[in-house]
Amino acid sequence: MIAVLKHNATVEQRDHLINWLQSQGLEVHISEGEEYTVLGLVGDTSRIDGELLESLSIVQSVRRVSEPYKKVNRKFQPSDSVIEIGGGVKIGGGNFCMIAGPCSVETHDQIIEVAEGVKAGGADVLRGGAFKPRTSPYDFQGLKAEGLRLLSEAKKVTGLPIVTEIMNIEHLPLFEDVDIIQVGARNVQNFELLKELGMTRKPILLKRGIAGTIKELLMSAEYVMAGGNEQVILCERGIRTYETSTRNTLDLSAVPVLQELTHLPVVVDPSHATGHSGLVPPMALAAAAAGADGIMVEVHNDPIHALCDGAQSLTPAQFAAMAEKVRKIREVIKE
């Protein structure tokens, strides 16, 4: 249930109402907007008389929310969330963010060269996997702690904030210098991991599950937010369908659908969605045209010799050309 308070409600009146709602066994989440204060009531709201609540002088309106997600719900927070990533970079609420970098951190020279390349091309954030979720246990598993150390070095050299994936909460102490912690498609329903990340205060990038519905993605975000961490970014990265021409099927309609349902920023990863570098630029442009809050693409200085996902990796020059066009699309759709 959601109660929107009137403009002129005093702090005393508001606190009085909140105390009463809490005494009814409800958790009250307060969202202060520019225009209104919204109270999100979580718990057994069946004992609350909505009409009575609405009749109070400080209450503007009351709505029962049927969706199981509350904190991520746009009905609870009508304005877009803007997430501050570090280094002056923001995402959401009109701030578009370009995340680029290799699938995996491989060597010192590789990550520095790619970081400098994507920065020159206009990237806002550097990506790079250190703990890699690979389908085969015999494939390259990432440089792990050493990979995180090299990412930090690339951050120092370029000033770009960094995003990298966590697979095990025991590794969290290694992520101190990481600006955005990614939860990959395979772990997005690892609820224990999500609960732990909910206790941190770092932005979390949640990728849609391989066969995950939009609602399931929102419920995963709710796990993080329920723990008190409000900085969640959602990522559409393609879902598994019967189609085999592309690695996954990019569900671009997820962008406007998510933006209607939630205030959280939504980015699109056309690299894992398509699996082919030639398909990445058109789908990145389409994502920008669809109103995404950002894109995340894989870039490698030597894609043919990449240890992971070379086929879908752009070169820094290809990234720069694509980024230029993405900026033009952003101009076109600006209101």
Q: Is 266 helix (H, G, I), strand (E, B) or coil?
A: strand
> With contacts defined by CB under 6 A, how many residues of the chain interact with ligand PEP?
10
Binding of ligand PEP by 237 (CB under 6 A): yes
Task: Quote the radius of gyration of the chain (alpha carbons, Å).
Answer: 21
Measure the CA–CA gap between 211 and 100, rounded to whole angstroms: 24
Calculate helix-pair angle for 191-198, 214-226, nearest 10 degrees.
40
The nearer residue to Mn ion, 9 or 105, going by C-beta atoms, is 105
Q: Which of residues 259-278 bind ligand PEP (CB under 6 A)?
A: 272
Measure the CA–CA gap between 204 and 95, rounded to whole angstroms: 17
- Shortest Cβ distance from residue 156 to Mn ion (Å)? 24
Binding of ligand PEP by 142 (CB under 6 A): no
- Which residues make up the interface to Mn ion (CB under 5 A)? 103, 309
Contact (CB, 8 A) for 104 and 140: yes
The nearer residue to ligand PEP, 25 or 133, going by C-beta atoms, is 133
Q: In this structure, what DSSP letter does residue 46 have? A: G
The nearer residue to Mn ion, 200 or 277, going by C-beta atoms, is 277
Q: Are strands 162-165 and 125-127 parallel, antiparallel or unpaired?
A: parallel
- Shortest Cβ distance from residue 100 to ligand PEP (Å)? 12
- 35 phi, psi to nearest 5 deg: -95, -45
Select the binding partner of residue 184 from ligand PEP, Mn ion, none (C-beta < 5 to 8 A, by kind).
ligand PEP
- Shortest Cβ distance from residue 208 to ligand PEP (Å)? 8
The nearer residue to ligand PEP, 9 or 284, going by C-beta atoms, is 284
Q: Measured at CB, which residue is nearest to ligand PEP?
A: 184
List 207, 247, 263, 300, residue binding ligand PEP (CB under 6 A)? 207
Sorted by sequence, the CB contacts under 8 Å of residue 257 that are 6+ apart come out as 214
Q: What angle do CA 289, 294, 298 make, to 5 degrees?
A: 105
List 133, 228, 256, 278, residue binding ligand PEP (CB under 6 A)? 133
Footprint of ligand PEP (CB under 6 A): 103, 129, 133, 165, 184-186, 207, 237, 272
